[in-house]
Amino acid sequence: MAKVPSAVVAASGLVGGYGVARWTRKRQLGGVVLAVAGAAAARQWRQQAGGKAAGTLSAAYVAAFAGSHPLAKKVGAWPAVFGVAGAVALASWAVADRNG
């Protein structure tokens, strides 16, 4: 079975976490999705690019989550989530997935 690229895992965590929180009206459940995907992506980042890169990408993942909130006030919730998910996916691909 083919391995899912870390870029897809990270972006799915951001989009899926928001979607679950919104559709279930349970923010904690969305947080679980966000955290599980983030941990899975971090594990892949560490294996593929090393600890320093994994730390940097993990910080970017958390910053994207936090940054989506004020961005949503300007552009709307879904565009903000898709925007930050795309940015994290691009960074993940460039740092960890591109050569793998």
pLDDT tens-place values along the chain, 100 residues long: 458 999 999 999 999 999 999 999 999 999 999 999 999 999 999 999 999 999 999 999 999 999 999 999 999 999 999 999 999 999 999 999 997 6
pLDDT tens column, 41-50: 999 999 999 9
pLDDT at position 100 is 63
* Nearest partner of 60 among 10, 5, 8, judged by Cα: 10
* pLDDT (0 to 100) of residue 31: 98
Give the separation between CA 67 and CA 81, rounded to whole angstroms: 9
Show the tokens assigned to 92: 């993940």
Residue type present at position 26: K
Structure confidence at residue 2 (pLDDT): 52
93's tokens = 């691909």
Residue 3 is predicted with a pLDDT of 87
Neighbours of 22 (CB within 10 A): 14
Say how far apart CA 88 and CA 14 lie, in whole Å.
9
